Amino acid sequence: MGCSASLPDRNSTARLTGFNSESNGATDSKNLKVKLVLLGDSGVGKSCIVLRFVRGQFDPTSKVTVGASFLSQTIALQDSSTVKFEIWDTAGQERYAALAPLYYRGAGVAVVVYDITSPESFNKAQYWVKELQKHGSPDIVMALVGNKADLQDSRQVPIQDAMDYAEKNGMFFIETSAKTADNINQLFEEIAKRLPRTLSS
Ligand SMILES: Nc1nc2c(ncn2[C@@H]2O[C@H](COP(=O)(O)OP(=O)(O)OP(=O)(O)O)[C@@H](O)[C@H]2O)c(=O)[nH]1
Ligand SMILES: [Mg+2]
pLDDT digits (tens, 9 = 90+) for 43-101: 999 999 999 999 999 999 989 999 999 999 999 998 889 999 999 999 999 999 999 99
Mean predicted lDDT score pLDDT of the chain: 88
d(CA 23, CA 173): 31
118: Cβ contacts below 8 Å, ≥ 6 apart: 41, 44, 156, 157
d(CA 56, CA 49): 9
Domains detected in the chain: 26-191 (3.40.50.300)
Task: Give distance in angstroms: CA of 46 to centre of ligand 1.
Answer: 6
**Residue of 112, 74, 31, 105 lying closest to 189 (CA atoms):** 74
* For the ranges 9-18, 20-29, 123-132, the one whose mean pLDDT is highest: 123-132
User: Please, are residues 51 and 57 in contact by the beta-carbon 8 Å criterion?
Assistant: yes
Query: Could you tell me where the DSSP H helices lie in the chain?
Result: 46-55, 100-104, 119-135, 159-168, 184-194
**Residue of 45, 198, 20 lying closest to 125 (CA atoms):** 45
Residue 196 is predicted with a pLDDT of: 87
At residue 81, φ and ψ (nearest 5 deg) are -80, 160
Nearest CA to ligand 1 atom 2: 148
User: Please, are residues 108 and 141 in contact by the beta-carbon 8 Å criterion?
Assistant: yes
Average pLDDT for 100-113: 96
Q: Residue 3: CB within 6 Å of ligand 1?
A: yes
* Of 3, 69, 93, 157, best ligand 1 pocket probe by most atoms within 8 Å of the beta carbon: 3
d(CA 190, CA 66): 28
* Of 6, 38, 44, 103, best ligand 1 pocket probe by most atoms within 8 Å of the beta carbon: 44
Is the four-CA dihedral 57, 122, 196, 72 of positive or negative sign? negative
pLDDT tens for 133-156 read 999 999 999 999 999 999 999 999
| Residue 155, phi-psi category: left (phi > 0), alpha (psi -120 to 50), beta (remainder) | beta
